[in-house]
Amino acid sequence: MTLHTASAHRICPFCEAACGLALDLEERKVVRIRGDAKDVFSHGFLCPKAIGLKDLHDDPDRLRTPLIKRAGVFMEASWEEAYAEIERRLPSIIAAGGPNAVATVLGNPVSHKMGLSLYFPPLARALGTRNMFSASSVDQIPKMLACGLMFGSWMSVPVPDIERSDFLLMLGANPMVSNGSLWTVPDFRGKAKALRARGGQIVVIDPRRTETVAVADVHHFIRPGADVFFLLGIAHTLFDEQLVRLGRLDGHVAGVAELGAALRAFAPEAMAGRCGIGAATMRELARTLAATPRAAVYGRIGTCTQQFGTLCSWLIDVINVLSGHLDEEGGAMFPKAAAFAANTRGAPGAGRGIVSGRYRSRVSGVPEMLGELPLTCLAEEIDTPGPGQIKALIAIGSNPVLSAPNGARLAAALDGLDFMVSMDIYLNETSRHADVILPGLSPLEEAHYDVTFTQFSHHNHARYSAPVLARAPGQPEEWESMLRIAAIAMGLGAQADIGALDDAALEQEVHKTMGAAAPAVLAALAPLKGAERKLELALRSGPYGDQFGAQPGGLKLARLKAAPSGIDLGPMGARIPEALRTASGNIELAPQMLLDDLARVQADLASPVPDLVIIGRRQLRSNNSWMHNLPVLAKGAYRCTALVHPHDAARLGLADGARAQISNGARQIVAQVEVSDDMMPGVVSLPHGWGHDLPGTQLGVAAERPGVNLNALLDENLRDPLSGNAVLSGIAIKMQALG
């Protein structure tokens, strides 16, 4: 007997680093997972989570069959039965309540899955609802708003060119654990080490002395939520000390004078007390940024999930522009993705800019952003009666009962819905509320192209992964289920020919974008279907594409398939003004909406500083709320601990390892204390995504050590008013020892 062995490649779908993995198979089972040393982008790097791919595939709790809830109990069902149940219940809700009676909520995995990200738009069009929600509004939407206003498209987010940089100022990010976010940068450790080896320096601003601080040169504690004061102090200094130099961007930047005037009130000396970082440090950092030819400022989730999230996000790139580092080698540059990037489509250099606030949420009147309403408004839109109330929900790769503030209210609201569908791979804290659960495939069973994170990659590349293992017969891909639900919403029924629907949509799109070339393009795409066909169209018509023959040697799917370790498209290059899509064709440095918000900062300067606040924390062997069921990642020491500075522990009588009650008004949780001088005094850190002790789930491993839910403490009504993003950081708490 011969052993059937094989090897395969797969881009890791677990985080934004998007590492290329090499898998060894025996008898069609994965036996080994390594980093793919030949990968043109990640060069063999992987983290411990990658091994979880195997555990996920084998997890007995992972759903493989649709579930339908009957009389409160989930029963296994066929795909036909599951779609029929949706057809039986969804259309009457739309008929009675109109399109807004159905809501959608998308979670983080949607952006890691080609099928989900490419086929949500047709589902959204078919539903026509304004009630769309996603994890973006507990995450990065402030950055997208700021970049949209400055550069003209939501996804034009500059990223540090770390391989050529000599100075990095990083705020509210911990890439040693998160492996980077809005910055696809596998092996941050290796790149940081190389930066320092060539004489460069990394400065980290964080209320915790993080794992990233351990590979940096300098660390400053900052009061949670106070980054705006620090960044204003630096931006002020650039004007005050005549350090502004636009360099090559001169002539492409509007609003410099207005900005200078607006910043006059924010001298570092006036900001220091509020942010906890001295004025001399802010001035020195401004001078270093101005004097270092290759430098960048980068901020991530810690700078977004706070009440001034949009201002922080804006100021980071304001400083990059003013200090001459935007769009420069070694600075903050714009990736040029091979497919799907809005800033590579249409006429280069100018566009329509972004629009937001086209409508407002029904209950709290929060403005629309990116076609969405804040996730923190979902519960009230369900549990507040009246015309326009949400009656049905389609949740896609989303677990807001744990991931969003006040999950208890949301859980109760979900129980009040007339109908709920979850597209999910687990029966978990959110999907337990569904009437129908449609399980996705294991990542090993589906093809992959990184639609989203190629747009934030520090080095341009294109890679495609073929399915590693065959899926069970009859198991649809997730994009097929989305089209099925779309067909049901359009009144075409569960038996509709979704292939024909997809063809019609493609024809329409190609005729709109390709004009006279459309018939030839459609003929070239004819052999493909679904997500792969969309990918082929985007690649071939994209910035490196073969333009359907006009650029022989250009990219197309067949070339990617022939290069399993990917195709290197080179380091980031200068893209201003070509990448801009603002109406003026300039970088808008001083959008009025942002200047106006400075009044709120002024007013906040005098606010009292609470003596104890809580922030979040990410952990290497975890991914938000959903990887705690994988044995290989769940093992080891108990991790859901509240880190408390020794001074605070002494003051509050909290012992290491003891349990303590943490409260925010009437909201309370009990957590295990871990005394740690890595914390800034007055700041407590607890990871999010835990709390797997709710009834009705099927998460055997996670339930053994459920942890506690940080979000149960947080207030769903606290938002950055500009972007609607949730405030998750710097919330005042009380802490009390338990006997």
Ligand X SMILES: Nc1nc2c(c(=O)[nH]1)N[C@H]1C(S)=C(S)[C@@H](COP(=O)(O)OP(=O)(O)OC[C@H]3O[C@@H](n4cnc5c(=O)[nH]c(N)nc54)[C@H](O)[C@@H]3O)O[C@H]1N2
Single residue of 210, 307, 320, 457 touching ligand X by CB under 6 A: 210
604 touches 58 (CB < 8 A): no
206 binds, options ligand SF4, ligand X, Mo ion, none, Cβ within 5 to 8 A by partner type: ligand X
450 binds ligand X per the rule CB under 6 A: no
Name which of 218 and 550 has its Cβ closer to ligand X.
218
Q: Is 12 in the site for ligand SF4 (CB under 6 A)?
A: yes
Q: How many residues bind ligand X (CB under 6 A)?
A: 63
276 binds, among ligand SF4, Mo ion, ligand X, none (CB under 5 to 8 A by kind): none
Residues paired with 464 in a beta bridge: 449
* Closer by beta carbon to ligand SF4, 237 or else 623: 623
Supply φ then ψ for residue 434, to 5 degrees: -75, 160
Q: Which does 397 bind (CB under 5 to 8 A by kind): Mo ion, ligand SF4, ligand X, none?
A: ligand X
Instruction: Name which of ligand X, ligand SF4, Mo ion, none residue 361 binds, using a CB cut-off of 5 to 8 Å depending on partner kind.
Output: none
Q: Which stretch binds ligand SF4 (CB under 6 A): 16-24, 279-287, 610-618, 711-719?
A: 16-24
| Member of 87, 161, 187, 227 binding ligand X (CB under 6 A) | 227
Beta strands 201-205 and 464-465: pairing type?
unpaired
Cβ proximity to ligand X, 310 vs 565, nearer residue:
310
> Rounded distance, CA 651 to CA 101, Å?
51
Q: Which of 171, 256, 498, 569 binds ligand X (CB under 6 A)?
A: 171
Residue 399 binding ligand X, by CB under 6 A? yes
Q: Is 355 exposed, middle or buried (0-12, 13-18, 19+ CB in 10 A)?
A: exposed
Binds 173: which of Mo ion, ligand X, ligand SF4, none (CB < 5-8 Å by kind): ligand X
Q: Is 160 in the site for ligand X (CB under 6 A)?
A: no
What's the closest the beta carbon of residue 622 comes to Mo ion, in angstroms? 13
Residue 17 interacts with ligand SF4 (CB under 6 A): yes or no: yes
How far CA 96 is from CA of 360, 388, 395, 488, in Å, comes to 22, 10, 21, 15
Least gap, CB of 312 to Mo ion (angstroms): 16
Return the closest-CA partner of residue 517 out of 552, 547, 551, 557: 547
Pick the binder of Mo ion from 59, 139, 227, 380 (CB under 5 A).
Answer: 139
Cα 49 from Cα 33, distance rounded (Å)? 11
Q: How far is the CB of 608 from Mo ion (least distance, A)?
A: 31
Radius of gyration of the chain (CA): 25
State how far the Cα of 528 lies from the Cα of 521, in Å rounded to an integer. 12
In the list 115, 122, 148, 186, the residue contacting ligand SF4 (rule: CB under 6 A) is 186
How many residues of this chain bind Mo ion (CB under 5 A)? 1
Stretch that binds ligand X, among 134-142, 514-522, 575-583, 645-653 (CB under 6 A): 134-142
Q: Toward ligand SF4, which CB reaches closer, 185 or 680?
A: 185
Q: Which is nearer to ligand X, 165 or 303 (CB)?
A: 303
Kindly state the tokens that stand for 210. Answer: 């993080």
CA 406 to chain centre: 20
201: helix, coil or strand? strand
Confirm if 393 and 421 have CB atoms less than 8 A apart: yes
Element holding 560 (H helix, E strand) = helix 557-561
| Nearest residue (CB) to ligand SF4, 12 versus 441 | 12
Per CB under 6 A, 208 contacts ligand X: yes
The residue with tokens 């005050």 is 240
Tell me: does residue 691 bind ligand X (CB under 6 A): no
DSSP E strand stretches across 77-231: 102-106, 132-134, 159-160, 167-171, 201-205, 218-220
Q: Is 14 in the site for ligand SF4 (CB under 6 A)?
A: yes
Of residues 156 and 729, the one with the C-beta less far from ligand X = 729
Task: Verify binding: residue 179, ligand X, rule CB under 6 A.
Answer: yes
3-state secondary structure 431-461: HHHCCEEECCCCHHHCCEECCCHHHHECEEE
Q: Taking CB under 6 A as the rule, does residue 641 contact ligand SF4?
A: no
In three-state form (DSSP H/G/I as H, E/B as E, the rest C), the secondary structure along 247-305 is HHHCCCEECHHHHHHHHCCCCHHHHHHHHCCCHHHHHHHHHHHHHCCCEEEEECHHHHC
* Rounded Cα gap, residues 312 and 226, in angstroms: 9
Q: Which of residues 47 and 147 has its CB atom nearest to ligand SF4 in the complex?
A: 47
Closer CB to ligand SF4, 15 or 67, in the complex: 15
Binding mask 33-72 for ligand SF4 (x = CB under 6 A): -------------xx-xx----------------------
Residues β-bridged to residue 67 = 76, 437
Which of 117, 174, 179, 237 touches ligand SF4 by CB under 6 A?
179
Token pair 């109406």: residue: 583
Selection from 669, 720, 689, 93 nearest residue 382 by Cα: 93
Between residues 236 and 300, which has the closer beta carbon with respect to ligand SF4? Answer: 300
403 binds, options ligand SF4, ligand X, Mo ion, none, Cβ within 5 to 8 A by partner type: ligand X
Minimum Å gap between C-beta 375 and ligand X is: 8
The interface region with ligand SF4, picked from 15-23, 211-219, 474-482, 550-558 by CB under 6 A, is 15-23
By CB under 6 A, tell whether 679 contacts ligand X: no
Among the listed ranges 79-87, 246-254, 315-323, 422-430, the one in contact with ligand X (CB under 6 A) is: 422-430
Structure tokens at 561: 């398939």
Give the binding-site size for ligand SF4 (rule: CB under 6 A): 12
At 490, which amino acid appears? M
User: Pick from 79, 266, 426, 453: which binds ligand X (CB under 6 A)?
Assistant: 426
Instruction: Identify the burial level of 416 via C-beta atoms within 10 angstroms of its C-beta, where 0-12 means exposed, 13-18 middle and 19 or more buried.
Output: middle
- Mark residue 324 as left, alpha or beta (left: phi above 0; alpha: psi -120 to 50; beta: remaining): left
Give me the least distance between CB of 95 and ligand SF4, in Å please: 44
Q: How far is the CB of 111 from Mo ion (least distance, A)?
A: 9
Alpha helices in 63-140 (DSSP H): 79-97, 114-127
d(CA 415, CA 401): 12
Q: Which stretch binds ligand X (CB under 6 A): 207-215, 285-293, 565-573, 580-588?
A: 207-215
Least distance in angstroms from the C-beta of 47 to ligand SF4: 3
Can you read off the two tokens belonging to residue 495? Answer: 């038996």
Name which of 107 and 158 has its Cβ closer to Mo ion: 107
178 three-class SS: helix
- Helix and strand numbers, DSSP H then E, in the chain: 24, 29
Positions that interact with ligand SF4 (CB under 6 A): 12, 14-15, 17-19, 46-47, 49-50, 179, 186
Q: Which residues bind Mo ion (CB under 5 A)?
A: 139
